[in-house]
Amino acid sequence: MTANEYLYQTEETTRRRELAYGILREPPAPFFSHQLVVPEVARMWTDHVQARNLGSVAVAPVDVVLDRDRDLIVQPDVLFIAASRLSIVRGQVWGAPDLVAEVLSPGTRAHDRGEKLEWYRQYGVRECWLVDAAAETLTIVDFTGPEPIERAAQGVESIRSSVLPPLHASAFRLFA
């Protein structure tokens, strides 16, 4: 399937789906625990972003067209786009968000930590949060330097974001 077929010839849906180099992926619905964590991440980011007029936060399903020519369209669980870059939102998101979060599920863990994380790095996402609800751990992957840097936060440890400074929150808030 091409990006144009995906975007303009399929019905609008609230189902999660992605186009990976022309192959349509429609994973099953996330577990309930996954759906409890997604709004907590979105709330944390939205509270921080709105108070400072930093940009916009959205939750899946929303299409992020990373590469139209290569038919690569993803749907991060939560995404943030800085105010100065909101012009990339035109129906869908046309380009890399500044920050994305993926809540890891048993069925998507390997894909989210592997191939999808590499796409985010390759196409210009500045930071990715990998949220492991089962282990109550947050891994922040910072792509702003020459090499990705991973930082973990658990319990009352402070979350340090390169994209959303100064975010004053603990990992515990995501899982409370």
- CATH code, 47: 3.90.1570.10
Residue span of the structural domain in which 161 resides: 3-175
Q: Is 54 helix (H, G, I), strand (E, B) or coil?
A: coil
Beta strands in 29-174 (DSSP E): 55-59, 64-67, 72-74, 78-82, 89-90, 92-94, 99-103, 127-132, 137-142, 149-154
Residues of the chain with pLDDT under 70: none
pLDDT confidence of residue 36: 93
- Residue 18 CA to residue 141 CA, distance in Å, equals 22
Residue given tokens 């402070």 in the structure block: 158
How does strand 99-103 pair with strand 55-59? unpaired
pLDDT confidence of residue 176: 77
pLDDT confidence of residue 1: 96
Number of domains in the chain: 1
pLDDT confidence of residue 29: 87
pLDDT confidence of residue 75: 97
